[in-house]
């Protein structure tokens, strides 16, 4: 199986805008389609509560004609047009879909952050982890989320093996970002967030990228969009992951980033795993 995950930073803009960035995003979508993934997870869709519009549906049907999709948007009392997730999957897969609530600090469970697909022998689940925010104003709530999410994945793993992807909004180790020395109190690299990710892995999960590539450096999944030189200088962070249940780790064939050219922000991440 080939699975791809990507924080797209607004599906609406990607599909309907005429900006240079939107054209670059659509080019990445074409690249993703060329990989023929069995499953494509999307984070930060930023769709309205009612989901993709008719126009969005028509464009998706053109760009991904062999795929069905499910979505989850932010709903009140959470902010409108915020966060959100989606799956596209090949029609013959027909998974059982769930939209879990994990008992996270309010209103995180209403922000459309998790979708889970259940198959006969495994789960595929995606997450858009809450950011600790400017000035770490949401760090306490983020820590609560991390605990609840780890417990949720552990619960799934007790039933069947799990493939978990998404924007986890944390660089786990110093080799996972270009400038760790300057970022120990930055959102995404605090001791608290890193400890939360360590705790998640301790429940029996493997970071598939490190499993395949070891301690390779200079490979990232996010470059600050607001810093024009971030991509050119490879001043990035690895904050997007494919995690797998430890008992499936040896089935991982590939775990890698998909190039996005000059486009800053997140790049897609690909997992190939033996059935």
Per-residue three-class SS string for the chain:
CEEEEEECCCHHHHHHCCCHHHHHHHHHHHHHHHCCCCEEEEECCCCCCCCCCHHHHHHHHHHCCCEEEEEECCCCCCCCCCCCEEEEEECCCCCEEECCCCCCCCCHHHCCCEEEEECCCCEEEEEECCCCCHHHCCHHHHHHHHHHHHHHHHHHHCCCCEEEEEECCCCCCHHHECCHHHCCCCCCCCHHHHHHHHHHHHCCEEEHHHHHHCCCCCCCCEECCCCCCCCCCCCEECCEEEEEEHHHHHHEEEEEECCCCCCCEECCEEEEECC
167 known ligand binder = yes
* Active-site annotation holder among 87, 89, 123, 128: 128
265 known ligand binder = yes
CA–CA gap between residue 98 and residue 117 (Å, rounded): 7
215 known ligand binder = no
12 known ligand binder = no
pLDDT, position 250: 97
Q: Does residue 56 have an active-site annotation?
A: no
266 known ligand binder = yes
CATH architecture of 2-273: 4-Layer Sandwich (3.60)
Q: Does residue 167 have an active-site annotation?
A: yes
pLDDT, position 133: 95
Q: What is the mean pLDDT of each run of 10 residues along the chain (275 residues)?
A: 98 96 97 98 97 97 97 96 97 97 98 98 98 96 98 98 98 98 96 98 98 98 96 97 98 98 97 93
- Domain spans in the chain, listed from the N-terminal domain onward: 2-273
pLDDT, position 275: 78
pLDDT, position 212: 98
Q: Does residue 157 have an active-site annotation?
A: no
CA–CA gap between residue 196 and residue 29 (Å, rounded): 31
121 known ligand binder = no
How many angstroms separate the Cα of 212 from the Cα of each of 126, 138, 192? 21, 33, 26
CB contact set of 143 (below 8 Å; sequence gap of 6+): 192, 193, 196
* Active-site annotation holder among 157, 167, 207, 240: 167
């Amino acid at each position: 199986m080939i699975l791809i995950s990507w924080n797209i930073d607004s599906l609406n803009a990607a599909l309907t805008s005429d900006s240079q960035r939107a054209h670059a995003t659509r080019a990445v979508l074409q690249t993703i389609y060329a990989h023929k993934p069995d499953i494509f997870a999307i984070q930060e869709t930023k769709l309205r509560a009612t989901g993709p519009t008719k126009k969005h549906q028509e464009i998706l049907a053109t760009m991904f004609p062999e795929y069905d999709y499910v979505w989850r948007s932010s709903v009140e009392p959470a902010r409108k047009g915020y966060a959100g997730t989606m799956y596209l999957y090949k029609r013959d897969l027909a998974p059982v879909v769930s939209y879990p609530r994990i008992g996270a600090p309010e209103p995180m469970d209403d922000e459309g952050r998790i979708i889970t697909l259940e198959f006969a022998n495994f789960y595929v689940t995606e997450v858009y982890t809450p950011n600790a925010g400017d000035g770490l104003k949401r760090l306490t709530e983020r820590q609560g989320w991390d605990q609840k999410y780890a417990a949720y994945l552990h619960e799934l793993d007790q039933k069947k093996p799990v493939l978990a992807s998404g924007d986890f909004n944390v660089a786990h180790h110093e080799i996972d970002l270009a400038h760790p020395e300057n970022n120990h109190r930055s959102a995404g690299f605090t001791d608290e967030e890193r400890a939360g990710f360590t705790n998640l892995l301790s429940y029996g999960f493997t970071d598939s990228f490190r499993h395949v590539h070891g301690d390779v450096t200079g490979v990232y999944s996010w470059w600050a969009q607001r810093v024009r030189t971030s991509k050119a200088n490879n001043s990035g962070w690895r904050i997007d992951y494919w995690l797998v249940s430890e008992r499936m780790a040896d089935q991982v064939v590939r775990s890698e980033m998909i190039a996005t050219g000059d486009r800053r922000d997140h790049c897609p991440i690909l997992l190939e795993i033996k059935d």
